[in-house]
Amino acid sequence: MRVLLTSAGLETNEIKDCFMDMAGKEMSLVKALFIPTAAIDAGAIGVLPKCMNDLLKCGIPEENIRVFDLHTGMEAAKLQQYDVVYLCGGNTQYLLKRINDTKFNQSLMEYIDKGGLVIGVSAGSLIFSNNLPDNLGLIDTKLDVHCAAGEKRGKVAYPLKGNLRLTNTCALVIRNLPDGMEIIGE
């Protein structure tokens, strides 16, 4: 399992380096699926270039990045062709509804179970937590993003507490459940 849940994406060198390490291959060879679906208002749309730049600044060539807006689902076998799925921020309810309505939830969770790498940014992270009904259920707690003060760096104890708080410069790294979770950054 390789999941990186963030408030603001690859905001720091530490988070970027963690992503590149988790990718496990030369970045020029990485194929990414970029999902901007949650960005339905002006503020979130305005952040999309920064999100795309997260992948580009790691060395992933633009031609290796496919933008996929979840108008339809994607079969698990096709999703496995990608080295990383990047879920952008915006409206969490809208993103989760589109994921569930298109049955992308099933493909995405199978992708994760088979070792696929996922980066969640804000709403793209919240869909994995208990913040909303019919969530993807990866972490059994609520998640708060864009917090002024976040969790302390280090291993995350299981069972999880009532909610986890992420600042814009920290991330929840999930390598194995339940004992392979840690907070990186500040």
pLDDT in tens, 78-112: 999 999 999 999 999 999 999 999 999 999 999 99
pLDDT of amino acid 74: 96
Contact 90/39 with Cβ under 8 angstroms? yes
Say which CATH number the domain at 75 has: 3.40.50.880
pLDDT single digits (tens) 34-84: 999 999 999 999 999 999 999 999 999 999 999 999 999 999 999 999 999
- Of all residues in the chain, the percent with pLDDT exceeding 70 is 100
Name residues whose C-beta falls within 8 Å of residue 102's C-beta, 6 or more positions apart in sequence. 70, 71, 72, 73
Is the separation of the CB atoms in 1 and 115 below 8 Å?
yes
Q: Is 63 exposed, middle or buried (0-12, 13-18, 19+ CB in 10 A)?
A: exposed
The pLDDT value given to residue 154: 93
Please determine, for residue 182, whether its predicted confidence score (pLDDT) is greater than 90.
yes
Q: How open is the CA angle 60-181-158, to the nearest 5 degrees?
A: 160
Based on DSSP, count helices (H) and strands (E) in the chain, helices before strands.
Answer: 6, 10
> Domain residues for 66?
2-185
For residue 123, the model assigns a pLDDT of: 97
Residue 160's pLDDT is 79
Q: Classify 81 as helix, strand or coil.
A: coil
Residue 176 pLDDT level (bands cut at 50, 70, 90): confident
| Torsion region of 133: left, alpha or beta (phi above 0 gives left; psi -120 to 50 gives alpha) | beta
Return mean pLDDT, the chain.
95
Q: Confidence band (pLDDT; 50, 70, 90) for 180?
A: confident
Q: What is the pLDDT of residue 135?
A: 96
Q: Distance between CA atoms of 95 and 77, rounded to whole angstroms?
A: 22
What total number of domains does the chain contain? Answer: 1
Q: Which of 117, 124, 122 is nearest to 18 (CA)?
A: 117
